């Protein structure tokens, strides 16, 4: 029987702070396939996340399909806007929610992983990070600062993670990220430079697949997921409209679930995908294939 088997593998998933998003679904799927998983959490959200876990508030979400309970091997503080601790401004470094976490930069994460597990120690890295401080603003009204912030966290941080963590990867290692259709189609309301950031992320995926593939022997892919009402996505403001529209116009009208992305990520992380790299994998009920919307069914004639 052909199966996804990640036993003996260690994954790191960047961008998990609750049980409602793709990052959590991916982490859970990787564990269900046999991997151990460490996660990176934004420092201001880390305390709440830890308390939810400690107090059993996420108990139902942590239940694994085959029995047992999801447990993270480590939870690391991570603000992927900063490559080193020195890059963070003083007001960030001195903030209580940051200061008590130690080095929360990408270099700090890399050093902690190597100290905790040695080197090499990783097999899978998942970039589930995005931030557009002006996402509700049309691109025309987005400030330079807002645009660059969106690119920094949502796209450049993936480059930084590959550069920093590829040396910790064991043979057959792979990187994944999460993108969205707004990279190549206009999605009104998805602003603030986030569409540009996703386009950059996809372009970088192809280049990183070549460069990191030749230098480190790792694979680099990205998953273009359908719209999903995670807590983070709800900040866009029109997420429910996006979901309804996509479902109406997709080849498959089934409900789109975060687990769909988790399963795809587990496949990409497995030896079954050893020849797949530099690829955008669409997990969206086929919406990306449509070039024209489906007309609304005609209303039935009124009856007397």
Q: What is the residue extent of each domain of the chain?
A: 10-286
Give the integer Cα–Cα distance in Å for 113 and 77. Answer: 12
* Residues involved in catalysis: 180, 190
Closest by Cα among 73, 78, 62, 66 to 14: 78
Per-residue pLDDT tens, the chain, 304 aa: give them.
788 999 999 999 999 999 999 999 999 999 999 999 999 999 999 999 999 999 999 999 999 998 899 999 999 999 999 999 999 999 999 999 999 999 999 999 999 999 999 999 999 999 999 999 999 999 999 999 999 999 999 999 999 999 999 999 999 999 999 999 999 999 999 999 999 999 999 999 999 999 999 999 999 999 999 998 876 666 666 888 889 999 999 999 999 999 999 999 999 999 999 999 999 999 999 999 999 888 765 445 455 4
Q: Which residue in this structure is represented by tokens 């969206």?
A: 284
Give the integer Cα–Cα distance in Å for 176 and 277. Answer: 10
Judge whether 127 and 146 are in contact, CB under 8 Å. no
SS percent in the chain: helix, strand, coil, step 5: 45, 15, 40
**What CATH number belongs to 10-286?**
3.40.50.720
Give the integer Cα–Cα distance in Å for 77 and 52. Answer: 16
Q: How far is C-alpha 127 from the geometric centre of its chain's CA atoms?
A: 5
Give the integer Cα–Cα distance in Å for 15 and 24. Answer: 8
Judge whether 247 and 192 are in contact, CB under 8 Å. no
Q: How far is C-alpha 95 from the geometric centre of its chain's CA atoms?
A: 26
Closest by Cα among 80, 18, 37 to 265: 37
Predicted TM-score of the model (pTM) = 0.93
């Amino acid at each position: 029987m052909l199966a996804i088997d990640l036993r003996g593998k260690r994954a790191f998933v960047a961008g998990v702070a609750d049980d409602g998003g793709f990052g959590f679904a991916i982490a859970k799927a990787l564990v269900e396939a046999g991997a151990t998983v460490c996660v990176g959490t934004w420092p201001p959200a880390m305390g709440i996340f830890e308390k939810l876990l400690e107090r059993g508030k996420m108990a139902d979400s942590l239940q694994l399909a085959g029995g047992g309970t999801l447990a993270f091997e480590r939870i690391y503080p991570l603000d992927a806007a900063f490559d080193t601790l020195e890059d963070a401004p003083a007001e960030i470094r001195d903030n209580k929610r940051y200061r008590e976490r130690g080095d929360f930069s990408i270099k700090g994460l890399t050093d902690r992983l190597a100290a905790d597990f040695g080197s090499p120690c990783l097999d899978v890295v998942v970039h589930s990070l995005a931030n557009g401080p002006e996402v509700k603003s049309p691109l025309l009204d987005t400030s330079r600062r807002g645009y660059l912030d969106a690119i920094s966290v949502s796209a450049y941080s993936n480059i930084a993670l590959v550069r920093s963590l590829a040396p910790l990867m064991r043979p057959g290692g792979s990187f994944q990220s999460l993108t969205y259709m707004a990279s190549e189609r206009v999605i009104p309301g998805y602003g603030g430079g986030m569409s540009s950031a996703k386009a950059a992320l996809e372009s970088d995926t192809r280049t990183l697949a070549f460069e990191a593939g030749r230098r480190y022997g790792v694979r680099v892919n990205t998953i273009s997921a359908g719209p999903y009402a995670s807590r983070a996505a709800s900040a866009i403001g029109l997420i429910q409209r996006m979901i309804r529209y996509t479902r109406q116009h997709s080849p498959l009208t089934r409900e789109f679930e975060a687990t769909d992305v988790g399963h795809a990520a587990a496949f990409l992380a497995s030896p079954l995908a050893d020849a797949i790299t530099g690829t955008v994998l669409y997990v969206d009920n086929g919406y990306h294939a449509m070039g024209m919307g489906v007309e609304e069914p005609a209303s039935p004639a009124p009856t007397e």
